[in-house]
């Protein structure tokens, strides 16, 4: 296990507060740092399955972040996709 792990954890809400310019800034931030750091987007998503899938597509496919925080508010089954 590496002892020298570097993680950046940007809070999504602060970027969203600035609309499309904030999303563009977040995209640039992730692009600039994703090779050197693990990017864990702090989004605390909690939603029904189809909406959560859209959030996860945004995080992993659009932004290409390495991970995201998820709030289990709706229970463990929320995370079990078919």
Residues designated catalytic: 44
Contact partners, residue 9, CB within 8 Å, separation at least 6: 39, 40, 41, 42
Tokens (6 digits) for 74: 């709706």
Contact partners, residue 48, CB within 8 Å, separation at least 6: 74, 78
């Amino acid at each position: 296990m590496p002892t020298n792990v570097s993680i950046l954890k940007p809070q999504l809400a602060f970027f969203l507060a600035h609309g499309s310019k904030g999303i563009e800034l977040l995209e640039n931030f992730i692009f600039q740092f994703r090779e050197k750091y693990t990017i864990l987007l702090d989004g605390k998503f909690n939603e029904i399955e189809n909406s959560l899938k859209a959030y996860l597509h945004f995080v992993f496919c659009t932004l290409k972040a390495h991970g995201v925080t998820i709030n289990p508010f709706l229970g463990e089954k929320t995370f079990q996709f078919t």
